[in-house]
Structures are given as C-alpha cells and as structure tokens.
C-alpha cells in the first residue's frame, strides 16, 4: 500500500490502472512517461495510453519511440492523426482499461477539460476488477495550484469531469532549469499540507535527475520519482531513458 506516513515504502510500487491527472502544465506527461519507465525497470509489464485530447504539443506521443525501445507498450491515435488537434481516442484504450495487465498508465489531458475524456470511458471503468488509482500531479509553481485550496478546487473540477475519484498526489515542484533543492522542499511542504487536508497519500515527489540524488531530496521522507526530461524544446535533447532504475 502506498502512502504518506509511518512505514511508507521508499520505492514506488504500482499495479492495475493508474490514471494521471492534473492541471495544465503540471507535468502529467513527463511524470507518466518516467513512471512507466520506473515501473518497467522494477519488472512490471507496463502499458501507457495517451489520452491527451487538449494539448497540441508536448504530449506522450513525442516519447513513443523511446518508450517502445524499452519494451513499453504505448497506445496512441492512428499515426496519420498524431499531429492533429482533434479529440481522437484510440479504441484500444477501452480494451486496455478492461484488461490492464500488470500496470496500465493512462495520461489524461489538463484540468477538468482534459479529464472529461475519462467520463467517456465510464462504461469501461465500471467493469474494472484491477486496482484503480487516479493520481493528481501538482506543481506548486504553476499559477493555479500554488495553494492547498486551489489544488483541492482543481481536484474537484477533475473529479466532476472524469466521474472518478482522485486517490493520491504526486508532487512535481520545479521551475525547469532554474529548479533548486529549496524549490523541491517548498513543494514538498505544500504537498504534505495537501495530503493532510485531503486525507489522501503523497505517492511520490518527482525530481529531475540532476537533483534527485541530493541529500536534501533523499531525506524528504517520501518516494522519489527520478525525472529524465523527454518533452524538450527543439534546441535540447531528451535524456536517455535506458539506465533508469
């Protein structure tokens, strides 16, 4: 069992269906990709589905080759429609929900609008026997999730649109290349307060690989998901995913 508090495991262990939600720009996709790689490295058979129907750029599909090279299955709209801004939901997604295997990670779009796609899959979710978690990614340095009430309000919007309940939090406190350990600690403080206010566990803190081994990060007291950035602007290269453990 994952959770924030006494006896919490240091490693992230997930199974069944894990839906990743959050506000625009919270880092859902980067978290979903790295979570898939992390769980794959720990021996799970992992499927990832890109359900982002609202974001035109920087989607899971940009990392499709890197994921497939590792043996991680990724469910996408048909190749010819990958660059469209149309609400295309691959029919295989409903099948994946019914038969998620060891772990199926669903990367939804941002805010309540992006989570609406989950309501369209309500029939498939009803038949699920596997464990189902919906984890909300929070970056406290984004303008509308900088306080506990705003994070809770975002959760309400997502739950209302998706007809599913958020079951845990993932902290993703960063300012891109300008992130310091202080930012991660500040973010962790807010996530702890959020976990207390909501009664839901803090599943992990996502931390860029350049900072993940810092002592101050390792002693935060919650599992750390190392982020190797995949969604980068054209003057940068994605970090290689192969040695992710």
Partner 1 sequence: MSKVLMKGNEAIAEAAIRAGCLNYFAYPITPQSEVAEYLAWRMQEVNGVFLQGESEVAVSYMIFGAAGAGVRVFTTSSSPGISLMSEAISYLCGAQLPAVFVNIMRGGPGLGGILPSQGDYLQATKGIGHGDCRLFVMAPEGVQEAAEMVMRAFPLAEKYRNPVMILGDGLIGQMMEPVEFPDHLKSVPSNKNTWATNGMDHRKSKTRNLVRSLFLDSQILNNNNLILRDKYERMKKEDVCFEAYNTEGDYRILIVAYGTMSRVCKTAIATLKEQGIDVGLIRPQTLFPYPEAAVREAARKESCRHVLCIEMSMGQMVEDVERSVLGARPVKWYGKCGGDVPTPEEIIELVKSTLALHKSY
Chain positions contacting partner 1, by CB under 8 A: 24-25, 56-58, 83-85, 139, 141-143, 146, 174-176, 178, 233-236
By C-beta, is 72 or 154 nearer to partner 1? 154
Least distance between partner 1 and beta carbon 146 (Å): 8
> Cβ closer to partner 1: 1 or 176?
176
Residue 113's Cβ-side half-sphere holds a number of Cα atoms within 13 Å equal to 7
62 vs 73, which CB is nearer to partner 1? 62
In the bound complex, what is the minimum distance in angstroms from residue 178's beta carbon to partner 1? 5
Minimal distance, residue 143 CB to partner 1, in Å: 5
**Least distance (Å) from partner 1 to the CB of residue 237?**
9
* Contact of 221 with 229, CB cutoff 8 Å: no
| Gap between the Cα atoms of 189 and 141, Å rounded | 13
Which of 12, 82 has the CB closer to partner 1? 82
Minimum distance from CB of 56 to partner 1 (Å)?
5
Closer to partner 1 at the Cβ: 79 or 178?
A: 178
Smallest separation, CB 167 to partner 1 (Å): 25
Whichever of 121 and 154 has its CB closer to partner 1, that residue is 154
Alpha-carbon distance 200 to 212, whole Å?
24
Min CB(73)–partner 1 separation in Å: 26
CB closer to partner 1, 52 vs 201: 52
Q: How many of the other CB atoms lie within 10 Å of CB of 140? A: 23
């Amino acid at each position: 069992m994952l959770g924030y508090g006494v006896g919490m495991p240091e490693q992230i262990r997930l199974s069944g269906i894990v839906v990743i939600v959050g506000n625009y720009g919270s880092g859902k996709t980067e978290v979903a990709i790295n979570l898939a790689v992390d769980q794959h490295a720990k021996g799970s058979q992992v499927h990832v589905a890109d359900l982002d129907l609202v974001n035109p750029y920087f989607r899971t599909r940009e990392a499709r080759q890197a994921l497939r090279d590792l043996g991680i299955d990724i469910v996408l709209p048909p190749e010819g429609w990958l660059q469209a801004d149309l609400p295309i939901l691959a029919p295989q997604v409903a099948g994946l929900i019914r038969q998620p295997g060891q772990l199926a990670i669903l990367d939804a779009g941002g805010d309540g609008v992006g989570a609406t796609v989950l309501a369209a899959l309500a029939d498939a979710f009803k038949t699920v026997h596997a464990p189902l978690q919906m984890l909300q990614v929070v970056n406290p340095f984004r303008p509308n999730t900088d306080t506990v009430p705003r994070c809770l309000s975002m959760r309400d919007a997502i739950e209302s649109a998706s007809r599913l309940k958020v079951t845990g939090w993932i902290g993703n406190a960063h300012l891109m290349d300008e992130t310091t350990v202080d930012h991660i600690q500040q973010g962790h403080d807010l996530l702890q307060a959020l976990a207390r206010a909501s009664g839901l566990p803090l599943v992990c803190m996502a931390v860029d690989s350049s900072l993940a081994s810092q002592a101050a990060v390792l002693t935060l007291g919650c599992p750390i998901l190392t982020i190797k950035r995949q969604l980068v602007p054209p003057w940068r290269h994605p970090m290689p995913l192969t040695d992710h453990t």
